[in-house]
């Protein structure tokens, strides 16, 4: 049972907040440029992370937005939905243009694209996956010689003399272990693949079946993480919400499950 005292903040930025993006942003569809801007805004429509808003003047030549006749409200204010057309390419329900009543910085002059409507997003020359990175999220990977032991339903699955601890804003601490200290005879690989804008794309997941229960996708690895997370390359971590994890011989309370809507769960 999770310790009720262990809670993690959902966000430190209020919904509706708007601020400039100090980075060049570009978006591509099928290799063709959709926008290129150094004047974008972060807009928090919901907790956890922002969306990018692109100035309409910074759309690429040949890119146009077609009003689909639907008005909605996205966090900070009203917006109208548009399709995106780029030459012979068409993406319906691709974008929202902020209308009067939204914050002054973005109203009637910027567009918020659906993440899935754009094939590739770049901050400067680095591609970003899943969703925009929040400027208020920090991820640190620190080596530690503190031993870690992992048990599930009374079975020891890992017993490592050291760890790399990953501290990410709003998430429980994760403990990455060298593979040589994991009992692979008890784990089964799965086909699950997930991505995180801060850590990259997973290279594997593993499940564990005890005498009493199946624990699906309990373990994961990043063999080729982002450069900020290179210390965890090739190592594995367990969902400590779902295992009995001891650090320095002390059993840690299981953290509360991450709140719904937070894509970067691990």
Boundaries of every domain in the chain: 18-128, 139-251
Q: Residue 6: is its pLDDT beyond 60? A: no
Predicted pLDDT at 14 = 87
What pLDDT does 264 receive? 42
Residue 88: how many other CB atoms lie within 10 Å: 5
Measured between alpha carbons, how far apart are the two ends of the chain, in Å? Answer: 19
Give the closest residue to 127 by CA, choosing from 28, 38, 22: 28
What is residue 257's predicted lDDT score, i.e. its pLDDT? 73
pLDDT interval class at 15 (50, 70, 90): confident
Residue 157 in this model has a pLDDT that exceeds 80: yes
CA distances in angstroms from 71 to 39, 77, 105, 125, 155, listed in the order given: 25, 11, 19, 34, 55
List CB contacts of 153: < 8 A, sequence separation 6 or more: 210, 211, 212, 213
Architecture of domain 18-128: Beta Complex (2.170)
pLDDT at residue 104 greater than cutoff 70 = yes
Copy the structure tokens of residue 184.
């692979």
Distances (CA, A) of 124 to 175, 196, 241: 31, 18, 36
DSSP assigned state of 118:
S
165: left (phi > 0), else alpha (psi -120 to 50), else beta?
beta
Cα-Cα-Cα-Cα torsion 142, 145, 150, 156, nearest 10 degrees, comes to 150
Q: Given this model, what pLDDT does residue 57 score?
A: 97
Instruction: Report whether 214 contacts 207 (CB < 8 A).
Output: yes
Q: How confident is the model at residue 256 (pLDDT cuts 50, 70, 90)?
A: confident
Do domains 18-128 and 139-251 share one topology? The answer is: yes
pLDDT at site 11:
54
- pLDDT interval class at 5 (50, 70, 90): very low
- The whole-angstrom separation of Cα 161 and Cα 257 is 27
Please give the CATH topology (third level) of the domain spanning 139-251: 2.170.150
pLDDT of 204 > 60? The answer is: yes
Percent of the chain with pLDDT over 90: 83
Is the model's pLDDT at 4 over the cut of 80?
A: no
Instruction: Supply φ then ψ for residue 165, to 5 degrees.
Output: -95, 130
How far is it, in rounded angstroms, from Cα 266 to Cα 237?
9
The three-class DSSP label of residue 239 is: coil
Three-state DSSP state, 131: coil
- More reliable by pLDDT, 97 or 255: 97
């Amino acid at each position: 049972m999770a310790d009720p005292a262990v809670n993690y903040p959902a966000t430190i930025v209020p919904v509706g907040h708007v601020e400039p993006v100090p980075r060049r942003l570009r978006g591509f569809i099928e290799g063709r440029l959709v926008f290129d801007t150094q004047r974008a805004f972060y807009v928090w429509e919901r907790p956890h992370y922002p969306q990018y808003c692109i100035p309409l003047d910074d759309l690429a030549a040949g890119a146009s937005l077609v009003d689909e006749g639907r008005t909605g409200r996205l966090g900070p204010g009203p917006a109208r939905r548009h399709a995106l057309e780029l030459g012979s390419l068409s993406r319906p329900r691709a974008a929202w243009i902020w209308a009067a009543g939204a914050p002054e910085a973005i109203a009637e002059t910027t567009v918020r694209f659906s993440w899935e409507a754009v094939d590739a997003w770049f901050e400067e020359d680095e591609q970003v996956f899943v969703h925009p990175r929040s400027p208020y999220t920090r991820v640190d990977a620190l080596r530690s010689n503190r031993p870690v032991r992992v048990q599930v339903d009374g079975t020891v699955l890992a017993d490592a003399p050291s760890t790399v601890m990953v501290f990410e804003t709003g998430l429980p601490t994760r403990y990455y272990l060298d593979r040589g200290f994991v009992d692979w005879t008890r784990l089964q690989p799965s086909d699950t693949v997930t991505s995180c804008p801060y850590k990259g794309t997973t290279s594997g997941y593993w499940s564990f079946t005890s005498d009493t229960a199946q624990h699906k996708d309990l373990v994961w690895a990043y063999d080729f993480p982002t450069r900020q997370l290179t210390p965890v390359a090739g190592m594995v971590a367990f969902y400590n919400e779902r295992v009995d994890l001891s650090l320095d011989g002390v059993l840690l309370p299981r953290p509360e499950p991450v709140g719904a809507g937070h894509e970067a769960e691990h």
